[in-house]
A and B are shown apart, each in its own frame.
Chain A
Amino acid sequence: MTTQMVGKPIQRVEDKDLLTGKGSFTDDIKLPGTLHVAFVRAPFAHARITGIDLDAARELPGVHLVMAAADLPAPAKGKRILLQVPNPAIVDPITQEPLVSERVAFAGEAVAVVVADSRAIAEDAAEMVMVDYDPLPTVANLAQATAPGADKVHPHLADNVAARIHVGYGDIESAFRDAAHTVSVTLDQHRGTGNPMEGRAVLSAPNALDGGITVWSATQAPHILRRALVDMLEMAETDIRVIAPDVGGGFGPKVQAYPEEFVIPICAQMLGVPVKWIEDRREHLLCTVQERDQTWSVEMALDAEGKLLGVRGRMRHDQGAYLPWGVIAPYISTVTMPGPYVLPAYDLETQVMFTNKVPTAPLRGAGRPQAVFAMERLFDLAADRMGLDRADLRRRNLIPAEAMPYSVGLIFRDGQPLIYDSGDYPRCQQIAEEKSGWADFPARREAALREGRYIGLGIANYVEGTGLGPFEGATTQVLPSGRILIKTGAAGQGQGNRTVYAQVAAEAFNVDISQVDVELGDTGKIPIGVGAFASRLMVNAGSAINVSAGTVVTKMKKIAAAAFEVSEDDLELVDGTVRVTGDQGPSLTFGEMAQMASGMPGYVLPGGQEPGLFATHYFSPPQAAYANGSHAVEVEVDPETGIVRIARYIVVHDCGRMVNPLLVEGQIQGGLAHGIGNAFLEKMRYDDDANPVTTTLADYLLPDADNVPTAEIYHVESPAPHNPLGVKGAGEGGTIPAAAAVVSAVEDALRPFGVQIDEAPILPERICELIDAARQNTQEAS
């Protein structure tokens, strides 16, 4: 009998420490003699540095180091951060310098660093650093970036194009030539932020014994940071140890290596003491990557029955000033567009544009929410034009479950053909329709309208490539104490990875999760690793644990079979022992087995096995695992104030086999909150000179308990065929279709005004403007 661990809503092993104030976030780590840092940041979005005077700052008591780019030691001096995701589509793979040497390209770039006894003194000194700037013309948005004769973000380039991406398949010309109906739309989607409640944070300590260095960082990817550090500092991999301690949320922006993650270790090495920098909220809103700014001009062709014939168009992606994570996000956008629909022909021409703003890089959803928004807006528009029900038109085009695996005709971001591996898309939409009362809703809407209330129902579907490679590794070990130890590089930032990893291991050994220890997020514990992004850890690390634990179990059975002189098939693992099935013979505890396997001086190892009860496995998935889902949302809109209230939110979600439904639902609900922010709250605003305007949480609105409802969640489990656990990623599905679904609902509620919404977020003032404009149109027409 085995204890079922995978699939149960087990409470988290992480929680007790976090609930009692015993978490260990980067700023909680106290090393004796630690010095503190403040950065001098550019107040212009584009400017040449003509002079820096550090002298006054250097003289302030308590200041240990003041440094500008020219003072950086070799080999970092003059270098830029390694681009780890190159792509031939990129015109010039330009990344940030640790400190800007000549020209700042967005407001908030660091031009100098101060190290002092306290953060307060460091900030005092930073204010005394005198920098002379020669302001340059700025490019504040896509319209300015693409205008003829536009000013240039990077003067050495021919124009502001950072990359060109063209994807498509099928005969797009005849699709539009033969169409019975076509609709077209131009959609603006705006920048939002990650805003984990813990900002970025870096602590670095030199190791006096071996000349190496340890870096603690609130990062999603310790191994990726180490690789970047090896490149920048030209040190041996073994001399740099990167540790991600408890990390207070990530959501994408903590994946790539940032300038501060190089400057802090450099300062620590120069001074020979630990140095710490904790990002404040203003710095986060200025300097940490953002995402979503895209403009889509797209059209859809359908036949007389409402079957899709083709989709084509252009997309412009506001990249910001640099390419810290290449063009991953816009590329994902382009290949997400077909979604769960049978789309015979597709053509999208994309330009990734530089602007003088903080760079964009994947943020929860990673380019997918924009593509889903575009596709779903086209469906709503087409249904309205054709006089069809919005869900009905979608239903006519969903890929049937029998068609799985389904080849879309594109290459996904993992370099593999985009083949949906499994899923039942019609069923997911059907559940969403049933649970939301879709069929009866028009009558309810009419009834509400008679009471003067504007309610609307929206729907959106998506498919999401999750669990991307290249790999993640895990070591499973049975310790002499009898406990199970799991080591993996892949750490979470609150997702509960320790718990689910322990569940996978516990099931393999048939023990309770309390018998499993998990060490993660430390390059000192496992030589190679990748990181937490692309909803990939359960697929990659989970599978690596599953396989390595299975290897150890097999080995234990071999050793025990030899010791007991029975067949391996007659053995079982029960209560931390290996014994003859049914307790009919001898048994050995895991601890005894671990001791046996480590050998006794002078004796032969039992069973002809290699020593030790441990195994390491690196799991590399052959392709992405495709999760999917359908969202339906009911809203009420106040046409006088433009305020949107969500009455009900229904999520139908298929992430394959669920390891822990409690945690999956937590991911869905949390992702949904982010999507709701993107739908009608969160907008990172810049003025015409590309200066950020929303630099506090009072100006940049995050969703709160009063505007995020508890979603009604329904699970469909289509096991992923390409990994041993059958799992797919669950971290982003809550976010991806949310803006599309909410905007669809808001538009539905405003039907009496005839309003069409072509943007996200849709803020209250814009709703009022659109209603006013629509009213004016009707007046003029009458």
Chain B
Amino acid sequence: MTTKSISLTVNGKTVEQEVEPRTHLADFLRHGIGLTGTHLGCEHGVCGACTVLVDGQAVRSCLMLAVQADGAEVVTVEGLAPETGGDDGLSPIQAAFREFHGLQCGYCTPGFLTSLTQLLMENPDIGEEDLRKELSGNLCRCTGYAGIVRAALAAAQAYKEAAASGMGGSR
């Protein structure tokens, strides 16, 4: 099969690779460059487990081809924690997930974390009802969502402060 050369930024690092045109972004991230934190739950765009940030937007990486990410800036769960963040190496939403038991098996978690990172950076004042509607594009079979919702509402404050201080990049 013919391949195509792509160049993109993943978690701040430049990556150049040959990919088959049919390879989707999730497989490229997981198997092409070994970032296995991004998970596949359905490969048909429903579960949200594969969500990554592409140019700041939450995207289902099972529905996007790697070649479409040529030139893009991609952030995966591995890149969410600020390089100079809290001692625990966790971003606010990651830390809140631990505090409020927002994960059990952790398989859906990367997708929730990336989705919520975009959501809370854009809308840190979101209320529970809207938050639940926004989150309905991510499926979790373990938690029943209570811990996830609590964690998101608790972490929102940190994203608000970051936005206020102009540190837009406080993933």
Interface residues of A (CB under 8 A from B): 11-12, 14-23, 25, 27-28, 30, 120, 195-198, 246-249, 251, 280-281, 493-496, 662-663, 665-666, 669-674, 696-698, 702-708, 710-711, 734
The answer to whether A197 touches B147 (Cβ under 8 A) is no
Is the Cβ of B144 less than 8 Å from the Cβ of A15? no
Per-position binary interface string of chain B over residues 101-116, scored 1 when its CB falls under 8 Å from any chain A CB and 0 otherwise = 1011111111001000
For A198, give the chain B residue with the smallest CB separation.
B107
With CB as the reference atom, state the residue of chain A lying closest to B111.
Answer: A197
Closest to A284 in B: B42
**Which of A20, A705, A708 touches B90 (beta carbons < 8 Å)?**
A20
A368 CA to B145 CA, complexed, in Å = 24
Cβ of B147 and Cβ of A669 under 8 Å apart? yes
CB distance from B146 to the nearest CB of A (A): 4
Cβ B104 vs Cβ A666 within 8 A: yes
Residues in chain B near residue A493, CB distance under 8 A: 105
* Residue contact A249 to B109, C-beta cutoff 8 Å: no
Given A120, A281, A496, A705, which contacts B132 in the complex, CB threshold below 8 Å?
A705
A705 adjacent to B142 (CB under 8 Å): no
Interface size for B (C-beta < 8 A) is: 59
Shortest CB–CB separation between residue A489 and chain B, in angstroms? 19
Interface of B is mostly: loop
Q: Cβ of B107: which chain A residues have Cβ within 8 Å of it?
A: 23, 25, 196-198, 248-249, 494
Which positions in B face A, CB cutoff 8 Å?
20, 22-23, 30, 34-44, 46-47, 49, 76-78, 80-81, 88-90, 94, 97-99, 101, 103-110, 113, 131-133, 135-150
Q: Name the B residues within 8 Å of A674 (CB-CB).
A: 141, 144
Complex alpha-carbon distance, A219 and B37, angstroms:
20
Total of A-B residue pairs, C-beta within 8 Å: 184
Q: Do residues B135 and A705 form an inter-chain contact, with CB atoms below 8 A?
A: yes
CA distance A25 to B110 in the complex (A): 13
Q: Are A19 and B101 in contact (CB under 8 A)?
A: no
B105 touching A21, Cβ below 8 Å: no
Q: Report B-chain residues with C-beta under 8 Å of the C-beta of A28.
A: 30, 36
Minimum-distance CB pairs A-B, first 5: A21-B37, A494-B105, A18-B106, A248-B107, A673-B144
- With A670-B142, A706-B135, A708-B145 known to touch, is A16 a contact of B44 (CB < 8 Å)? no
Most buried by A among B42, B90, B110: B42
Q: Which residues of B contact A198 (CB under 8 A)?
A: 39, 41, 105, 107
> Is A280 touching B144 in the complex (CB atoms < 8 A)?
no
Which residues of chain A are within 8 angstroms of B94 by Cβ–Cβ distance?
19-20
From B77, B105, B138, residue with most partner A Cβ within 10 Å: B105
How far apart sit A674 and B104, CA to CA, in the bound complex (Å)?
14
The listed residue (B20, B42, B90) touching A696 by CB distance below 8 A is B42
- Contacting pair A15 B46 (CB below 8 A): no
Pairs across A and B, CB under 8 Å, 11 listed: A20-B90, A120-B22, A249-B105, A280-B43, A281-B43, A281-B47, A666-B142, A696-B44, A697-B47, A705-B145, A706-B136
Known: A705-B132, A706-B132. A666 touches B42 (CB 8 A): no
Q: How far is the CB of A729 from chain B (nearest CB, A)?
A: 16
